[in-house]
Amino acid sequence: MDEIKILVVDDESRMRKLVCDFLQKRGYQTYEAENGEMAVDIFFEKKNIDLIILDVMMPKADGWQTCREIRQYSQVPIIMLTAKSEEKDELLGFQLGVDEYISKPFSPRILMARVDAILRRTTSVEEVMQMEGIVVDKAAHQVTIDGEPIELSVKEFELLSYFMMNCGVALSREKILNNVWNYDYFGDARTIDTHVKKLRAKMGDKGNLIKTIWGMGYKFEA
């Protein structure tokens, strides 16, 4: 876990220290920012932040503005911390792409549990994944279905791996682009549909496990 980097953004130094202390005890590397502008600068400077814990009420750039700016380029997981607990604020957070929403005051242990859960979901390092007779060996870059190897392009392999890592999760085309093609890709999102079509064809009957969610994207169901 020493390679996992978490950015903690809060204008209260005492709160930042509390959160960072708990994170460091669990082996995470932490960075601190006291406002939204600093957070954005650190995020793009470091480039490999795995998770952001972001307060709403801050000077210069609040949490909403910071989230909007980062979401233009990245789908990095974001946990929003706020003293507000109104439903409309939570809805706004989720509309902006916030992964978790925790109201202050909160239990540090609950926060750590949420952090661990999100990172397990988003930084999976499984070398071999198996579902429904599909075996993806990431180290060997090989896929077999019911024991028979199938030939996939690099992006088809990465796409199948991403689907299986997020089994049961509805994935928007934007999220797939950001995670499989990375946020520096400026092509048309329809390239995803083309790759999914080819991947399904190569998977035969197993291709039906990739479900289309009309108007949104796809979901892998096993």
CATH 1.10.10.10 residue ranges of the chain are 128-220
Q: What is the mean pLDDT of each run of 10 residues along the chain (222 residues)?
A: 82 94 90 95 89 90 89 88 68 74 86 85 69 88 93 92 88 84 62 94 96 92 86
Highest CATH level, class, for 5-122: alpha beta
CATH 3.40.50.2300 residue ranges of the chain are 5-122
Highest CATH level, class, for 128-220: mainly alpha
Q: What is the pTM of this model?
A: 0.56
What single string gives the DSSP state of each residue in the chain?
-TT-EEEEE-S-HHHHHHHHHHHHHTT-EEEEESSHHHHHHHHHHH----EEEEESS-SSS-HHHHHHHHHTT----EEEEES---HHHHHHHHHTT-SEEEESS--HHHHHHHHHHHHHHHS---SEEEETTEEEETTTTEEEETTEEE---HHHHHHHHHHHHTTT--EEHHHHIIIII-TT--S-THHHHHHHHHHHHHHGGGGGGEEEETTTEEEE--
pLDDT at residue 86, rounded to an integer: 58
pLDDT at residue 1, rounded to an integer: 41
pLDDT at residue 21, rounded to an integer: 94
